[in-house]
A and B are shown apart, each in its own frame.
Chain A
Amino acid sequence: MIDSHDRSPVRSERSGDIAVIYASDYLNKLSGERIERECRVALGAGCRALVVDFKNTGLVNSIGVSIMLGVIDAAERAHAPLVFSNVNDQAAQLFEILGLTLHAALAADEHAALQMLSELNVSERYPIPVGKHT
């Protein structure tokens, strides 16, 4: 039996005011909720921006994506910019079709995402351009 948390767990790291959450290899309901939880915990702990990194994520389903909309909502309510990084073609296509790219920026990798946020000076809570790989 496959169990996503056994293969590649969701984990998070903190880089100053920015939390980086690493998604597992399959973005589905369970792993989506874990990402959401990590994001809420990070925001609750005072983080001012979020990066969700999908470098380990091979496949994505629509339930997982719908939960990412919840993450976007939570980030917006906290005025925290959110960047998705390392999104592969399959996931990017789904994000596009399901409208996530209207609300969150995509970065080529984690480094680019952090760069993007640091250029914004996250403490000033500026909105950031969305939908394009930097």
Chain B
Amino acid sequence: MSTENIFKATPARRILGRIAPENFIGRSEHLREITALAPSTSPRRGLLVHAAPAAGASELLRQAYDKLFQQRGLASPIYFAFTRHEQTIAAAARRFLHTFLSQLVAHRRGDASFVNAPPSLRDLIDLADPSDYEWVERLVMTYERAREGGDELALVRLCFSAPVLAASRGARSVVMLDEIQNVEKLRGEVELGNEIAHVSMHGDVPFVLCGLRRGLLDELSGGNAPHRFDGFGTIHLEGLKEADARTLVERLAFTERVAINDETRDLIVQLFGGSPFYIASFMYAAHLDNVSLTSFLECQKIYVDELLGGRINRRFNSLLEEVTPSLTIRRALIRLLYDAATNAGGKSPVEAWRRRLELEPDELYPLMFALHVRELASFNATFMEIGTESLWRDYLRASYRLQVAADPRALVVADTLVETLKRAPQTMARHYRRAAALNLRELLARFDAQRVAASLLHYDRFSRIYRGVEAEEIELGLDAETDLIRLPQVVHAASCASFHPPMLHVCDEERCAVAHGFDAMPYTDANEIVWLTAEIDSKLEAGRAVTEVWCDRLVQVGHSCGFKRFKLWLVAPEGFSAEASELLSERDAFSSSRRQLELLTARLSPEATDARAGTETEAPDEFEMVIPMGSDTELIAAHTVEQIARRLDFPAEAINQIKTALIEACINAAEHSLSPDRKIYQRFRLESDKLVVTVSSRGIIVPSPTNAGTNGNDAREENNGRRGWGLKLIRTLMDEVEFERVDDGTRLRMTKYLRR
């Protein structure tokens, strides 16, 4: 993929930002929220930024700093991060005051050089703007006296209220305090979090208080009298959205001069769950190693290098050091975490932790809480549950083998590479399945006691009335239906696996949902109902056997979770056979096809999206064509190949065979992949005695009719032998057929020889 024409590097002034502003993707709204605090007319007193680990919160604040610095005449930006290296509260307070004055003077003088190389406090007095000279001098003198005095509280209050004092003298600032979770580790008598919360709420200075989402409010809570943070906005900072993460990878590939393609770009996004920190580290590593990332193997090599010795490795090492500085405890911790990660469910009891780490409760609980805050594990009173992020688990496995089991490094590298490489197609497959899933959970959440045509929830009825009917007619028919179903008011919807983890073994999380609600008012036990719904994989109408299996599974979920009253709703892309519908009726279950679900979704919220993209080049004897999947576009391909085949004087019968084979190949590509771009790539190469047609598409291989489906159903029974003929037909019609699975999709090569 060429990115050179897409992005033109625009030079921008960077002071604290570690990446170029044009590469700072997907955070423009948050950036705007922070910079909007600068005018004195800002309606907000400040912002609380609850950040997921490695979501790029510090970079967000640094970018905001750079942006605010350029806005002359407005508030001065102040960025201060609590670091884990700092030992005491007093030291943090002193460093804050120094940072504050350096950055304030820098901004008011328009000289950014002080920001990264701050002069001494005494020098800052001389460097201060004449209008600030008096109060800066007085502040420094007072500070020096307080420092000598040894009153920690007085020192802390003096330092952290300096922005309020400055504002009262006409030097307003926006104070951004980062990594507030590190306050917890500082030694001292003062409740620093409480002091910060107090000054941020009562001074006329906007504060941005940023920290890990599991630790921020604990630090700022104020103990028995929790602070309300009136007038504060909230930012929940998570991984980048998928489209933004893709753009980030593309931009970094361009700036770091690393070749990528669409497949590896998407893999990188999936590997790092949209974390800008990990993506940037990964791309930078590829740049340093001067490697291209055009295959899964190359990507996984860099991934393993980073995991075992690069920036990603150092980040996890550093996180564990924050959790416990003791090397001995850390090694025992890695063993414990690894063992817990390999347990079913990734859980282990707290008591086991205490025994194995040989720690007293007052040492153990801070350690477990530190793991919890960093989301390396979840602390749930009686047990610890290890984080499921695959990057963290890969690190844990490799660290355990290297540091605890003392396996040879070469063996660990080789095993990790092989394992992650094997996992890459599964990672993508899971991503595609997730993208193609019908999103039952969201749909259920939108039910809101609305009334819909009953046929939308009874496939047999829908099929009887609307099969083969024009879309407009269906809409009119649904509008005219008098038999309506009142959907429940759903108050909570979650994946089935959240209630009953064994469901993860039989289906993807997003394909099965549980919705709690009420099917009538008032909110009483009698009206309480739980909808259990699942999406079944089936190319044709789902048969009775698979339908029965799914009904039983959902009933089992209902019973094991103790739901008193529940309703089953099964969804199959092509609906259900007559026998299956009979069963569903016996079980009093609802049933819908994908079409019904689309209609239902449109009726609950009429929105839809679409996306398109570009294509490439061709050679003299070679023709290339990209068609979107669906809407009979295979006909366009068939007509095109007919024209090309005529050039070589293929007889009419052979042309018909080529056309038919191509149509089948296109249908196959559309039906058998959960293609992310919904495109079919075709290449027609003319040689003296043959025509070679290559059809490829991205996505995964949906199990063939001879294999069991991903949901555990036996597709043979469903097929009744009437589908899955595509490849057989192609082999009959063409002379040579090669079907291969590539990194991220499939490729079918078909050859027809000219017989003169």
Contact partner, B635, options A26, A65, A94, Cβ 8 Å:
A26
- Residues of chain A contacted by B634 (CB below 8 angstroms): 61
Q: Which of A28-36, A79-87, A106-114, A115-123 contacts B (4 or more CB under 8 A)?
A: A28-36
Q: Which of A2-10, A46-54, A124-132 contacts B (4 or more CB under 8 A)?
A: A2-10
Judge whether A89 and B653 touch: CB under 8 Å: yes
- Determine if A66 is an interface residue (Cβ-Cβ < 8 Å): yes
In this complex, what residue of B is CB-closest to A62? B725
- Determine if B247 is an interface residue (Cβ-Cβ < 8 Å): no
Compute how far the CA of A115 lies from the CA of B435 in the bound complex, rounded to whole angstroms. 54
Judge whether A90 and B468 touch: CB under 8 Å: no
Judge whether A3 and B660 touch: CB under 8 Å: no
- Determine if B17 is an interface residue (Cβ-Cβ < 8 Å): no
Judge whether A90 and B723 touch: CB under 8 Å: no
Judge whether B635 and A62 touch: CB under 8 Å: no
Interface residues of A in 52-84 (CB under 8 A from B): 59-63, 65-66, 69-70
In this complex, what residue of A is CB-closest to B470? A5
Interface residues of B in 369-394 (CB under 8 A from A): none
- Residues of chain A contacted by B663 (CB below 8 angstroms): 59, 61
Judge whether A2 and B632 touch: CB under 8 Å: yes
Contact partner, A62, options B469, B638, B656, B729, Cβ 8 Å:
B729
Known: A2-B632, A34-B468. A63 touches B723 (CB 8 A): yes
Judge whether A93 and B656 touch: CB under 8 Å: yes
Digit string of B629-645 for contact with A (CB within 8 Å is 1, else 0)? 00111111010000000
Compute how far the CA of A43 lies from the CA of B148 in the bound complex, rounded to whole angstroms. 102
Judge whether B635 and A98 touch: CB under 8 Å: no
- Determine if A14 is an interface residue (Cβ-Cβ < 8 Å): no
Judge whether B467 and A1 touch: CB under 8 Å: no
- Residues of chain B contacted by A63 (CB below 8 angstroms): 667, 723
- Determine if A37 is an interface residue (Cβ-Cβ < 8 Å): yes
- Determine if A97 is an interface residue (Cβ-Cβ < 8 Å): yes
- Determine if B295 is an interface residue (Cβ-Cβ < 8 Å): no
Compute how far the CA of A119 lies from the CA of B347 in the bound complex, rounded to whole angstroms. 77
Contact partner, A3, options B631, B636, B733, Cβ 8 Å:
B631
Compute how far the CA of A30 lies from the CA of B633 in the bound complex, rounded to whole angstroms. 14
- Residues of chain B contacted by A89 (CB below 8 angstroms): 652-653, 656
- Residues of chain B contacted by A33 (CB below 8 angstroms): 467-468
Judge whether B468 and A2 touch: CB under 8 Å: no
What's the minimum C-beta distance from B474 to chain A, rounded to whole angstroms?
Answer: 13
Interface of B is mostly: helix
Compute how far the CA of A59 lies from the CA of B660 in the bound complex, rounded to whole angstroms. 8
Judge whether B660 and A60 touch: CB under 8 Å: yes
- How many residues of chain A are within 8 Å of chain B by beta carbon? 28
Known: A28-B632, A37-B467. A61 touches B667 (CB 8 A): yes
- Residues of chain B contacted by A66 (CB below 8 angstroms): 722-723, 725
Judge whether B631 and A2 touch: CB under 8 Å: yes
- Determine if B659 is an interface residue (Cβ-Cβ < 8 Å): yes
Contact partner, A36, options B468, B470, B659, Cβ 8 Å:
B468
- How many residues of chain B are within 8 Å of chain A by beta carbon? 27
Interface residues of B in 609-658 (CB under 8 A from A): 631-636, 638, 652-653, 656-657
Compute how far the CA of A62 lies from the CA of B722 in the bound complex, rounded to whole angstroms. 9
- Determine if B732 is an interface residue (Cβ-Cβ < 8 Å): yes
- Determine if B339 is an interface residue (Cβ-Cβ < 8 Å): no
Compute how far the CA of A90 lies from the CA of B732 in the bound complex, rounded to whole angstroms. 13
Judge whether B725 and A98 touch: CB under 8 Å: yes
Known: A2-B636, A26-B635. A97 touches B729 (CB 8 A): yes
Interface residues of B in 225-239 (CB under 8 A from A): none
Compute how far the CA of A61 lies from the CA of B657 in the bound complex, rounded to whole angstroms. 11
Digit string of B175-204 for contact with A (CB within 8 Å is 1, else 0)? 000000000000000000000000000000
Compute how far the CA of A70 lies from the CA of B636 in the bound complex, rounded to whole angstroms. 28
Judge whether A62 and B667 touch: CB under 8 Å: yes
Interface residues of B in 712-755 (CB under 8 A from A): 722-723, 725-726, 729, 732-733
What's the minimum C-beta distance from B216 to chain A, rounded to whole angstroms?
Answer: 51
Judge whether A98 and B633 touch: CB under 8 Å: no
In this complex, what residue of B is CB-closest to A34? B468
In this complex, what residue of B is CB-closest to A25? B635
- Determine if B664 is an interface residue (Cβ-Cβ < 8 Å): yes
Most chain-B CB neighbours within 10 Å: which of A2, A4, A36, A70? A2
Judge whether B633 and A62 touch: CB under 8 Å: no
- Residues of chain A contacted by B470 (CB below 8 angstroms): 5
What's the minimum C-beta distance from A40 to chain B, rounded to whole angstroms?
Answer: 9
What's the minimum C-beta distance from A31 to chain B, rounded to whole angstroms?
Answer: 9
- Residues of chain B contacted by A61 (CB below 8 angstroms): 634, 660, 663-664, 667
- Residues of chain B contacted by A90 (CB below 8 angstroms): 656-657, 659-660
What's the minimum C-beta distance from B570 to chain A, rounded to whole angstroms?
Answer: 22
Judge whether B659 and A59 touch: CB under 8 Å: yes
- Residues of chain A contacted by B733 (CB below 8 angstroms): 93
- Residues of chain B contacted by A28 (CB below 8 angstroms): 632
What's the minimum C-beta distance from B225 to chain A, rounded to whole angstroms?
Answer: 64
In this complex, what residue of B is CB-closest to A88? B656
What's the minimum C-beta distance from A102 to chain B, rounded to whole angstroms?
Answer: 13
- Residues of chain A contacted by B659 (CB below 8 angstroms): 59, 90
- Residues of chain A contacted by B725 (CB below 8 angstroms): 62, 65-66, 98
- Residues of chain B contacted by A65 (CB below 8 angstroms): 725
Contact partner, A37, options B468, B635, B667, B729, Cβ 8 Å:
B468
In this complex, what residue of B is CB-closest to A32? B468
Compute how far the CA of A36 lies from the CA of B468 in the bound complex, rounded to whole angstroms. 8
Contact partner, B657, options A30, A59, A93, Cβ 8 Å:
A93
Judge whether B468 and A4 touch: CB under 8 Å: no
- Residues of chain B contacted by A94 (CB below 8 angstroms): 660, 729
What's the minimum C-beta distance from B631 to chain A, rounded to whole angstroms?
Answer: 5
Judge whether A98 and B636 touch: CB under 8 Å: no
Digit string of B421-438 for contact with A (CB within 8 Å is 1, else 0)? 000000000000000000
What's the minimum C-beta distance from A35 to chain B, rounded to whole angstroms?
Answer: 8
- Residues of chain B contacted by A97 (CB below 8 angstroms): 729, 732
Most chain-B CB neighbours within 10 Å: which of A3, A38, A90, A97? A90
What's the minimum C-beta distance from B215 to chain A, rounded to whole angstroms?
Answer: 53
Judge whether B467 and A62 touch: CB under 8 Å: no
Known: A59-B635, A59-B638. A69 touches B660 (CB 8 A): no
- Residues of chain B contacted by A37 (CB below 8 angstroms): 467-469
Judge whether B632 and A3 touch: CB under 8 Å: yes
Compute how far the CA of A118 lies from the CA of B469 in the bound complex, rounded to whole angstroms. 31
Judge whether A62 and B468 touch: CB under 8 Å: no
In this complex, what residue of A is CB-closest to B628? A1
In this complex, what residue of B is CB-closest to A33? B468
What's the minimum C-beta distance from A94 to chain B, rounded to whole angstroms?
Answer: 6
What's the minimum C-beta distance from B3 to chain A, rounded to whole angstroms?
Answer: 30
What's the minimum C-beta distance from A55 to chain B, rounded to whole angstroms?
Answer: 17
- Residues of chain B contacted by A4 (CB below 8 angstroms): 632
Known: A34-B468, A61-B664, A93-B656. A1 touches B729 (CB 8 A): no
Task: Sort A-B residue pairs by CB-CB distance and give the 9 closest, nearest first.
Answer: A37-B468, A90-B656, A33-B468, A34-B468, A66-B722, A62-B725, A2-B632, A1-B631, A61-B663
Taking A37-B468, A93-B660 as known contacts, 11 extra A-B pairs with beta carbons closer than 8 A to each other, sorted by chain A number, are A37-B467, A59-B638, A61-B634, A61-B663, A61-B664, A62-B726, A62-B729, A65-B725, A89-B652, A90-B659, A93-B733
B residues lining the A interface (CB < 8 Å): 467-470, 631-636, 638, 652-653, 656-657, 659-660, 663-664, 667, 722-723, 725-726, 729, 732-733
Q: 26 A-B Cβ contacts within 8 A?
A: A2-B631, A2-B635, A3-B632, A4-B632, A5-B470, A30-B468, A33-B468, A37-B468, A37-B469, A59-B635, A59-B660, A62-B667, A62-B726, A63-B723, A66-B722, A66-B725, A69-B722, A89-B652, A89-B656, A90-B657, A90-B659, A90-B660, A93-B657, A93-B660, A94-B660, A98-B729
